[in-house]
Structures are given as structure tokens and as C-alpha cells.
Amino acid sequence: MPDDRWAYGEHSGPDDPHHGHEQGRTHGRFRYGPWRGGPDPLAAPYDVRAAVDQIGRDVLSAGSVRDALRDLMRQGIDGRGGLDRLAERIRKMRAQARRRGDLGGTLDQVRSALDQALAAERDTLSGEDGVDARLAEMELDTLPDDVAGAVRSLADYNWHSDEARATYESIQQMLRREVLDAQFAGLKQALESPDPEVMQRIKDMLADLNALLAAHARSEDTSDQFADFMANYGDLFPENPETVEELIDALARRQAAAQRMMNSLTPEQREQMAQLMSQALADADLASEMAQLSDNLRALRPGLDRESGVGMRPGGESLGYSDAVEAVAELADLEALEAQLSQTHAGATLDDVDVELVERRLGPGAARDLEAIRQLERELEEQGYLARGDDGLRLTPRAVRRLGQTALRRVFERLEATGIGDHSDHRTGAADEPTGLTRQWVFGDELPIDAARTVANALRRKGLGTGGVALEVDDFEVTETERRTTAAVALCVDLSFSMVQDGRWGPMKQTALALSHLIETRFRQDALQIIGFNRMARVLSPVQLAEAEPDFLQGTNLQHALMLASRHLRRHPDAEPVILVVTDGEPTAHLSGDGHAYFQWPTTTATLHATIHEVDELARYGATINTFMLGEDEGLARFVDAMARRAGGRVFTPDIGRLGEYVVSDYLRVRRGRR
């Protein structure tokens, strides 16, 4: 993928200061330079190779590909936020939303306006004489104590004060606005107008909306009907839905939030609000359409949470009905996002996450991060690092080669830093092959001269001239070669559960992959076979080894591993036989006469004899067994010491962090050959 040094073309005309320059010009029409316009527009959302390395580290440490990929998506990479960072933001926003205000604020607003109307009415009545004024005062004195009951009782009251009448009527208008705005986010401003035609338009909209939803529920094609509806009433829907489904989602979300808000009130508050809402929708046509809309939305979106309360915390401002519904809707959105991002339910994928909802609640930056995370899995598949099979995602050979390359590079970095081992063989012979590298000639070199680089060195030193090129000793370079000694290598690695318990599983896998990559890239004529063993032994490909997960079976069957190693060596009789054993425990299992594994701990004489028999067979064949002993098991130490004496091999006790150095160095030493 391109980086910030990638060249992008620009048109270059006669007036361009770069026009006519030989360097950076293409046919006099374009010039190229580094991209300086911000982030690279062609860059991948993630460094895929870094992602493979991170997944590989988790897989090699006894994890599965699916778990490693999920952890990568949770943590993020390349400085981008992962799912955990998004989830943390959501948790903080939820806490803030729960402190947003008092959901029962509408009751307070109605009570305040009602007190104001009654005070104005009593002031007017106190200045009037006559029976009507005294009867009116008595009627006011007998009003119910609850707000909803008082509002309902005053519906037919003959107001004496114009100010009080206007205040009371404003209560009804406010309640109607709040109820309708809670369901339709764009109606509050329209309902501010006293024009009766506005209310009639809203009733017409409700009728057309219910007809549209009913047709959609019958699975009819409603494309034209929806287009006509939005053309007529699109200004009332700020969500700007593009399909009937999006329209239903927006309406059902607000309806569910309204019901959850009601369920969050105290029983007394809930009863009061229900009465006030019924009073606000006293218009029979309006009430009928709203009831029908509620039924349609429940039928079309039955799975929405409409019952649970939201547990708002005390404090904050007093919220009106529509604002309270919006607060609950925000909480519902955040709850849904938190559940989607948790990825805890069976079969969960990032496709379950609503990107539009993320953008609406967390902003476009979070949406971009989420989309990048969603692309990562697809990018890993498209670039050939992951493959999807019947059992889910798996590492591909390309990914395993990448892991082996990384592991081998670390091994050689440590070797060069410590000076341990020698991974170069400078001896020459008829079967030498070039490595692709050159170096300056030194006295005594028998390596072939690199003519091109030698002449180029002389030209750089003297420059072009008419008198030819004069070569000096310092100009000469030689081509490095490697001696092609063929080796048959059997790497036997312990897969018993103790390797996981003691933190040796990952280094063991990395060592095997590093050796595999070294042989595959630099010593292709060598034949490597990786043999894993616990209660039984089995031949593993690099991919199978990388994906191998711990098995809780007990047993260390080195005998079976050496049997498989012997078969591998005998298939390559002209190659140098190399056996490398990595283990942390003495043999505790062997194959019985019927081919089944026999396990016993502590180890038995029969197991030791069966294993030593295979060691002796390999020693007679001429193979050397070098053992890399992990841990401080005294029984293992005695056994490998005896095995080394019988087979002429060596025993290493490396620190687990340097296992790769020891194994690779020993392979390079042994493969130089004794035959």
C-alpha cells in the first residue's frame, strides 16, 4: 500500500515552474511529488501486515484465530480506537444521559401553569359581586388535588378571567405539542402556529401514514406511495428516511422510548401523565389516528424494548414530555450500541453494529473507526492472510510465512546482538548458490567477482571519461554464496499441556515457524518435517502447528515422535540427518504392541526402554539428536543426558526467551555436515 512518500500526478503546463525540467517530468505533461494534502487518500485503513503479526502472536500463544481477531478489533491498531474505546465512550455517555433531567418535568410544568391560571381567576373573582362569582370560587375550591384531575375538571369551566382562560388553553396546546412531538421529531415548530389548517395537515399526515404502514404490512409495493408521502410531508421528518423501513425504524424507536419513559415514572406520575395525554388528544380524529399508528408500529417492530424503565438518576433540569422521550431514546440507542459492540452473543459479527447510529451518537470519527475495523477482516481475507472454512476463519500459508519471517528476523537480530552462533557459511564448493548479496573483495577470497558492481564502483570513483575505466583494488566486489549442503531435519516439539502452563507454548511455536521459514527461503534443498507430540505424535504443517491449540491429554510420547522422525530421515538417505527435540518433560507415554498409547506418571521402565530403543536405532543410522530442555525437571535432565551420550548429541538448557536462537544456530551448525 502507498505511504506518505507515494507520488501523485499533477498536470504541468508551460507556465508551471517545473515545466521543462528533465527530472520529475513525464512527456512534459505531468510532474510527480510527495503527497502533502493530509492523510494518504489511498492508504489502507489498517496496516494489514501489522494486524497479521498481532493476530499471530495471540494464535501462537494458544489462542484461536477467531479469538485473536476479536481481541484485535477490541483493542485497535495503528493508533485507531478499537471496540473497547468506543464502548468506553458509550458508557460515559450513558452515565451523562441518565443525569440529564427529571422525566416527570411535564407534570411540574402543567402544575405551574395551572397555579398561574387559578391565581389569575381568583383575582378576577374577588373583584366581582354576585352569586356566579361565589359559585365559581366554590367550584375552584373543590378541584381535585392531583394535576390531571384538576385539568380535566376545568375542561367545562366558564372562565371569568381572559388571562386565566388563555393560560389554561396553553396547557392543552402544550400537552398536544409534547405528545405529538414525542412521536414526530419535526412537529413541535409546526404546532407553534395557531392556524387550524396546521392541525388539519397533521391529521391528514397521520391518515396517509397509517395507510402507508398498513400497505407495507400487507407486503405491497409501497415505493410510489412512500415517495408521494415524503413529497407531501418530508418537512415533518428531520430524520429524512429514504425507505419505508427507515421511516418505520425512526417512528418505532420514538414510540418505544415514550413507553419506556412512562414506565420509568412512579405509578402516581404515570397515572397523571396518562390522564393528561388523554386530555391533550381529546380530538376524536386525532386520538383515533394516533392509536392506529401505535398498533401499526407495534406490529411492524415487535422486538423493541417497550417495557423496561431507564433508571434516571436524580438531579438535572425538569424535562418536558417530548424532551424526556428524546432522553430515553438516546439512552436506548446507547444501550443498543453497547450490546452490539460487546460481540458477546453467539454468532455476533461487526455487521450487527448500526454504523448510522454510531455516527449519530458518537460522531463521524467514531463511525470511520468502526468502518475501518469492519474492513479489517475483509482486508485480511482479500489479501490472503485468512481463509474461511467450515470451522470458521483460519490462517493461510501466506500468514504463517509472515509469522515465520517475523520470528526469524527476531532470532537473527538477537544472534547479531549477542554474537552467539554463526548463521553464515562462507565455504565454497561446486554446489554453491548466490545469496543475492555482494561485499568488497578481500585478499584470499575465492568467490566470483561481481563485474557489474565492480565497474560501477570505478565509474562512481572516476566519472565518465574518454580514456576508459581504470580499476583499482577497492573497486572489486564479490558475490556471496552459500554451500548447498542437503539436510533432512526433524523438529520434534512437545505439545503437552505443561508447555502452556509454564508459558512455553508461544516461544515453541515461534521457534518452529522461524526454522521453517529459514529452510523454506534459504535452504530449499533441505527437507523439514515438524512433529508434534503429547500422548501421541503427529506430523504437522506450519499452518497446523500455528493453529494447534492446547490439548488437555496427559502424556509425553517422545518414542512415537522419534519413530516418525526416523521415517522422515530414511526417505532422504543422502541428506545430513538432523533431529532437534524441544521438550519440558521426561517421556511418560509410548506405543504398545497394538499401536495404542500407554501413559503412566511417574514414567515407567517400559516407557523409558521403548524410547531408548528408538534413540539407539537413530544413532546406528548416523543421526545426532540434539535436545533443548526447558525447565528444571530432574528426571528429564537425567534422561536427556543419557540420550545424548548414546546418540552423540548435545543438550541445551536455553532461557525460554532465547529458544529460537539456540535452535536456529544449532541447525545451521549441524547442517554443515559430517558426511
Residue 313's pLDDT is what?
A: 58
Does one domain contain both 571 and 662? yes
Question: Does the bond joining 602 to the residue before it have cis omega, within 30 degrees of 0?
Answer: yes
pLDDT in tens, 359-368: 777 777 777 7
Among 177-181, 419-423, 523-527, which range has the highest average pLDDT?
523-527
Q: Half-sphere exposure (CA, 13 Å, Cβ side) for 623? A: 32
Q: Residue 5: is its pLDDT beyond 70?
A: no
pLDDT in tens, 96-153: 766 665 656 677 777 888 888 889 888 998 888 888 888 888 888 888 877 777 877 8
Does one domain contain both 137 and 200? yes
Does one domain contain both 289 and 143? yes
- Give Cα separations from 138 to 68, 131, 134, 142, 167 (angstroms): 77, 11, 6, 6, 20
Residue 225's pLDDT is what?
A: 92
- Into how many domains does the chain fold? 5
CATH of the domain at 600: 3.40.50.410
User: 112 lies in a domain?
Assistant: yes
In this predicted structure, which of 11-25, 125-139, 169-183, 624-638 has the lowest mean pLDDT?
Answer: 11-25
In this predicted structure, which of 315-324, 543-552, 619-628 has the lowest mean pLDDT?
Answer: 315-324
The domain boundary residue, chosen from 376, 395, 414: 395
* Domain containing residue 629: 487-670
User: 321 lies in a domain?
Assistant: no
Q: Report how many helices (DSSP H) and strands (DSSP E) the chain contains, helices first.
A: 25, 17
Name the residue among 615, 623, 674, 667 with its Cα closest to residue 646. Answer: 615
User: 409 lies in a domain?
Assistant: no
Residue 339's pLDDT is what?
A: 75
Does one domain contain both 86 and 23? no
Distance from C-alpha of 568 to C-alpha of 562, rounded to nearest angstrom: 10
User: 462 lies in a domain?
Assistant: yes
Distance from C-alpha of 17 to C-alpha of 33, rounded to nearest angstrom: 14
Q: Residue 191: is its pLDDT beyond 60?
A: no
What is the per-residue burial (b if ≥16 Cβ within 10 Å, else e) of 46-83? bebbebbbbbbbbbbebbbbeebbbbbbbebbeebbbb
**Mean pLDDT, the chain, as a whole number?**
76
Residue 22's pLDDT is what?
A: 43
Q: Which residue has the higher pLDDT, 406 or 566?
A: 566
pLDDT in tens, 498-516: 777 777 777 888 888 888 8
Does one domain contain both 134 and 56? no
